[in-house]
Chain A
Amino acid sequence: MPIHQISGCIGCNACIESCPTDVIKLDEATQKAVIKYPEDCQICHLCRLYCPVGAITITPEKSIPVMVSWR
């Protein structure tokens, strides 16, 4: 998984705004951030760094295969 879990969200929107690839959305019902498009996560960690309560955990593997120039 890339962005893996949001636990203890206070609904401040910081992660949603700071995600360059629009992976996180606000759940209208709960008013908490949810990981909506993990396949688009570039694993840059900006969401985690901007989160004021340390709610976000991230792992280094992409959720989809990656294309590289050789392997």
Chain B
Amino acid sequence: MSDSDNKGLSRRQFIGTAGGVLGAAAAGAYVFNQMDFNKPPISNDTPLPPSTFSVKHIESDVLVIGSGMAGLFAAVKAHDAGAKVTMVSKGRLGSSGLTPFAKGIFSYDKNTSNMSIDQFVAKVSESAIQSNNPVFTRQLAEHSKARVEELKEWGFFDSPLYNESFSRPINERAIPLHQRVMITHLIKENGRVVGASGFSLDKPNLIHFKAKTVVLCSGSGGFKPSGFPVCDLTHDGTIMAYKIGAKVTGKEWNDGHPGSAKNSGSSYDNWHGQVEEKPSITGADIHHDLGVDINYQAYKIGPPITMGPPMGPPGKNSQQQAQMAQAKGGPFVPAAFRQRSAPPPPPPQKEGGILALFSGKKPGGGPPPGMGGEQVGGSSAGMAIHKSEGLTPINETGLSTIPGLYAAGDALGSHMSGGIYAQIGSSLAGSAVQGAIAGEAAAQASQNTPSVSVNADRLREIEQEIFAPLKRKRGYSPAWVTQVLQGIMIPNFVLYIKKERLLQAALAYVEELKEHHVPMLIANDLHKLRLAHETENMIITAEMKLKASIMRKESRCSHYRLDYPEIDHKNWQAWINIYQDENGNMAFEKQPFGSWAKAIS
């Protein structure tokens, strides 16, 4: 926050009130009132009555939800496999979600790599402490080069902006594309998915999409944190799938990107303007890039925390190494990945561990994203490790536990590299690879599916649920509820350095928001209607993250429990699945590493 914006509330006062979970929540509310923005109305005098909405119906074989890297390939490959495809996106093709900011794409070439695919998979598993699904790790290596070659043909590497190159294959195939439409519901009939519903952000239009199969490419999400370009992603796909009975996974992992202490709300500045660079290809070098080690250092020794090159000059520790030494202990790093003991030390400008995950170095030798200077945590709060959270797959195509419903990219809990970052650039490549496979599988499944029907009464119910925040005469503004949620979840001692008592305390707050505030969210225009639905999705995600974190009584990869700091190989060689039980309650189960979940019949 800049001093000039912080009207009437000194920095010291703000930090003082944020000293506990109770204080943190109160701080969110207090600061919000001070700022007097958005002016939460006492009554919701809506200028947008639901009666003004038009209702449209669109039918296809395969519905692709999301238009980032996974959605692009899902739509293209489903079309090429003979399906009639429709694509719908909350944003714009190649210009929303995390895709526009990912500038490195991993490509494995077995002819030039110094490691075989078997060696590659084994090394990723070692880094992931077995938390990866080796089927998806192998798939990434096997298919990444072919996807990168297709991207080259479409002109992907020729521009820093992706809309034009993404539009080329979509336009060539004349795939209908509905942009700026927020999907809020998946529709299920007789146990299988049959479509999705949502509304336009530009006009009062409600759209029901009917489809034989659906591919969720809706990305992951966060709590609209500061300094990371994830504020349009709120786990929408995961939560709407959870609501129709799908199992979801990976919620205990944490992306640990810190942000710059200066202008910490600017994702552009945090990433050193990287969005203006053309993308490039990254190689198969394997890491164990934690991120939460920085959170641990901040917790133990207190700010200021700085980040610089991981290695100091020969014979001398870097500042980061000095911080690590002072903090003592913290998240476990497998022996083969301990940078301090890994000779020879990399030159400082080459690769930045966690901070360079989306790309290599900045051209011209500048620091990669986030590197340099004082750092603050929570820049990507609410997001787990890429590819580790989302729908639980039942096989290698990304089919979920719901028949007809596929997911790919960050919407799929593939655990491609488990609860840790193992390569630079694999996030973007993994989305391309998984999107292509899911799209093709969905097209084939559609061919074997006779026409599906949608219950008109169910559509009316969905419409009422979409409109609900517009119809409430009074209630809570989504912006205020979001800021309270951030105050509860983002402090280092809740989301990152976990312990039972604080997780339970935060859970009490989050359950209050879910039970009492979500049913009273209000909106008086399409923008706020979007915020209202996003806020609900973030709150359910927070509940999942807290409960999964309480359940996993060990520390492994990016999940760190101060009260259970060791790896528990006996009890926790398992992922956590989250689902709704028959009473609608949030239920949890362990799924052993190396096994597949079963479809829900």
Contacts and interface: CB of A to CB of B under 8 A. Distances in A.
Given A44-B275, A69-B381, A70-B303, A39 B265 contact: no
B263 A61 contact: yes
A66 B95 contact: no
B72 interface: no
A65 B231 contact: no
A69 to B, nearest CB: 3
Contact of B479 (A18, A39, A43, A71): A39
B35 A64 contact: yes
B160 interface: yes
B91 interface: yes
A26 to B, nearest CB: 8
B101 A71 contact: no
A4 to B, nearest CB: 12
B377 A62 contact: no
Interface in B148-164: 160-161, 163
Interface in B2-20: 2, 4-6, 9, 11, 14-15
Nearest to A68: B376
Contacts of A22: 180, 201, 232, 527, 530
B267 A69 contact: no
Interface string A17-38: 1101110010000000000110
A40 to B, nearest CB: 7
A58 B226 CA distance: 16
Contact of A44 (B225, B267, B376, B479): B267
A20 B491 CA distance: 26
Contact of A37 (B5, B35, B483, B527): B527
Interface residues of B, number: 72
Contacts of B100: 20, 44, 46
A67 B259 contact: no
A46 to B, nearest CB: 6
A63 interface: yes
Contacts of B95: 17-18, 20, 46, 50
A50 B161 contact: yes
Given A36-B527, A61-B5, A71 B11 contact: yes
Contact of A67 (B28, B163, B299): B28
B268 interface: yes
Contacts of B59: none
A65 B486 CA distance: 11
Interface string B436-464: 00000000000000000000000000000
A45 B38 CA distance: 23
A11 interface: no
Nearest to A48: B268
Nearest to A42: B231
25 contacts: A17-B95, A18-B95, A20-B96, A20-B229, A20-B231, A21-B232, A40-B231, A42-B229, A43-B269, A46-B95, A60-B266, A61-B1, A61-B2, A61-B265, A64-B5, A64-B32, A64-B483, A65-B6, A66-B265, A68-B227, A68-B264, A68-B490, A70-B376, A71-B11, A71-B376
Interface of A: 2, 17-18, 20-22, 25, 36-37, 39-40, 42-46, 49-50, 58, 60-71
Among all A-B residue pairs, the 6 with the closest Cβ atoms? A69-B377, A62-B265, A69-B378, A66-B226, A20-B232, A43-B266
Given A65-B35, A68-B379, 17 more contacts: A42-B229, A42-B232, A44-B229, A45-B276, A60-B269, A61-B263, A62-B265, A63-B5, A64-B5, A67-B226, A67-B486, A68-B377, A69-B376, A69-B381, A69-B492, A70-B378, A71-B261
